[in-house]
Chain A
Amino acid sequence: MSANRHPIEQEELMAYLDGELPADQATEALSHLELCAECQTLVADFRGVSQELMGWEVESPEVGISSEINAALGERLKKREAAKVSWPRLGNRVTSRWVWVGVLAIVCVVVGLTLLLTSRNRNESRSTTYPSMASIEQYLMPDRNAEIALARSAAPQSISSDAEIMVLGWRGYETAIEGKNGFVCMVERSWTSPFNSAQFWNPKVRVPICLNPAGARSILPLTIKRTEMVLAGLSKAQMIDSIKAGFDNKELPAPEPGAMCYMMSRAGYLSDALGHHVPHLMFYFPLTDKTSWGADLPDSPVTLNPQFQGGPEPITEFVIPVSKWSDGTVAPAM
């Protein structure tokens, strides 16, 4: 494979398959792969190796917590309990309780200040904040084909190949390719995050999504509207008011029954914290109690997505992770 013909190295191609390339390089890899038969063969080979390896399954016996672990666990929890109750005992020995209260208050203030300063320093060094909108160019993808490929990567090819593809232009989303199956695939930007999210203006965010026909009719209009308002330079407060009004006067639709989407791209960049995240499906409903889906309960694979929580859209959104990326490769467990 010569470097002249291929903009990405074989090793990078492998890293792409492993979900280890940054979003911009992953997009480049994806769009090259669509056109390069030689690279597709290499990718098929790598997948073949992974599939062969998966053939070595280790059957685990059903074993519970051993008696040794139980004993160690009991001992540890007992020690913790003892540590908790030892403070009041000490306190009883002191004649004036107020002395202890005073000491405790001083300790709390000192510890609190230390934690505050430490956490602030950590946050500053670890993450970048995005207090306001960057220039529009930073949200656009200069390579239209790369954006189309990234949008398609949200769902398995059997779905996305016949989907309508929308790309972001200077005036908003526009149809790049007409679809046949009612699905719409696109790459969402940071402003589909909750309004109070620190990532709301992060120009690096690229969220490939394929909405099913019900989602395209009832959820897509929200993304379109948010995007139009962002590009028109509205403030967050103005956008929130406009969305509320949109639902009040029925300009914006409620989620249709069955509205859902695929978010199974390994090349997306959902936020600085999540990166590619995990492949998942999302389901939309008018405001619904999360317990009706068993969301966020122990061992439940269903979680409540915070995207619309506390926002102006009266929508509840559930997320279910899936085990494979849209290209069929196995994703890391959550």
Chain B
Amino acid sequence: MTSDEALMLEFQGGSRTAFEELFARYRKPLYGFFGRRLNNPERAEDLAQETFLAVIRAASRYEPRASVRTYLYGIALKLLAAERRKFLTSSTSGQSAPEPKTDGTPERMLWVRQALEKLDAPEREILMLREYEQLSYSDIAELLRIPVNTVRSRLFRSRLALKSYLESQAKSNPALRPNAGQLHTGRRGMQ
């Protein structure tokens, strides 16, 4: 399988096929990135496509210093910040951000989303970049411009906090939770 970085260099060299392959690999993950953070499927799709537009426009400036994965999520984070700024401006002028759509959303997802919303924003972002985008500590540190040790300590705090939220939710409404009791199985053995 050709690496992302090799595809990016091929695209720089003028290969349309290489771009199409990168698109195929990353469109869904990028949609997921925006989808989980914006609760707005239409904007999630627009912004996923805008990420690729930015890649095309900046292709000549790409240098294989960072992985393509990190590079793409770097662009996505910038677009997300701009989107949030836009909403902030529009909400002060009377418009409000769309409420998360909950119709037909499985309860388990709502439950996880609610637990995540209780975390501090910086810690939530680190946790999501690690769990959903599967970025390494150093990639997250580079993207958020914070030391690697800070990533690690915030990740640790956020996981413990999330565990505690999920446990308290399970206690208050056991029926809500499909995998109730999973967090404290007291499993033995490493693997």
A residues neighboring B (CB under 8 Å): 10-11, 14-15, 18, 20, 30, 33-34, 37, 40-41, 43-46, 48-58, 60-61, 63, 65-66, 68-69, 72-73, 76-77, 80-81, 149, 152-153, 156-157, 160, 296, 298-303, 326-328, 330-334
Q: Pick the residue among A53, A69, A160, A301 that contacts B191 (CB under 8 A).
A: A160
Docked pose: A51 CA to B183 CA in angstroms: 9
Closest to A83 in B: B14
Complex interface: chain B residues within 8 A of A299 (CB): 1, 21, 24
> Is there an interface contact between B162 and A49, defined as CB atoms closer than 8 Å?
yes
> Is there an interface contact between B49 and A66, defined as CB atoms closer than 8 Å?
yes
Complex interface: chain A residues within 8 A of B44 (CB): 58
Complex interface: chain B residues within 8 A of A56 (CB): 36, 108-109, 112-113, 116
Closest to A332 in B: B134
Q: Pick the residue among B29, B159, B162, B185 that contacts A44 (CB under 8 A).
A: B185
Closest to A321 in B: B1
Interface size class of B (residues with CB under 8 A): 35 or more
> Is there an interface contact between B187 and A68, defined as CB atoms closer than 8 Å?
no
> Is there an interface contact between A58 and B21, defined as CB atoms closer than 8 Å?
no
> Is there an interface contact between A65 and B163, defined as CB atoms closer than 8 Å?
no
Complex interface: chain B residues within 8 A of A65 (CB): 20, 23, 52
> Is there an interface contact between A69 and B52, defined as CB atoms closer than 8 Å?
yes
Tell me whether B28 is interfacial, beta carbon within 8 Å.
yes
A20, A81, A300, A334: most-surrounded residue (chain B CB, <10 A): A20
Complex interface: chain A residues within 8 A of B134 (CB): 330-333
Complex interface: chain B residues within 8 A of A14 (CB): 152, 155-156, 159
Closest to B59 in A: A76
Closest to A160 in B: B191
> Is there an interface contact between B1 and A58, defined as CB atoms closer than 8 Å?
no
Q: Give chain A nearest CB distance to B85 CB in angstroms.
A: 22
Please provide the chain B residues from 116 to 164 with a CB less than 8 Å away from any CB of chain A in the complex.
Answer: 116, 127, 130-132, 134-137, 152-153, 155-156, 159, 162-163
Complex interface: chain A residues within 8 A of B16 (CB): 73, 77
Closest to B184 in A: A45
Complex interface: chain A residues within 8 A of B130 (CB): 18
Docked pose: A330 CA to B134 CA in angstroms: 9
Interface 1/0 per residue, B87-112 and A, CB below 8 Å: 00000000000000000001011011
> Is there an interface contact between A30 and B190, defined as CB atoms closer than 8 Å?
yes
Tell me whether B182 is interfacial, beta carbon within 8 Å.
yes
> Is there an interface contact between B153 and A327, defined as CB atoms closer than 8 Å?
no
Complex interface: chain A residues within 8 A of B41 (CB): 61
Q: Give chain B nearest CB distance to A212 CB in angstroms.
A: 17
Q: A10-B156, A76-B56 are in contact. Are A69 and B49 (CB under 8 A)?
A: yes
> Is there an interface contact between A328 and B35, defined as CB atoms closer than 8 Å?
no
> Which A-B residue pairs are the 9 nearest by beta carbons?
A157-B191, A48-B183, A58-B35, A332-B134, A60-B31, A44-B187, A58-B32, A56-B112, A327-B191
> Is there an interface contact between A68 and B166, defined as CB atoms closer than 8 Å?
no
Q: Give chain B nearest CB distance to A16 CB in angstroms.
A: 10
Pairs across A and B, CB under 8 Å, 15 listed: A11-B156, A48-B184, A53-B112, A53-B132, A55-B112, A55-B178, A58-B44, A61-B41, A61-B45, A65-B23, A73-B16, A80-B14, A298-B1, A301-B1, A334-B1
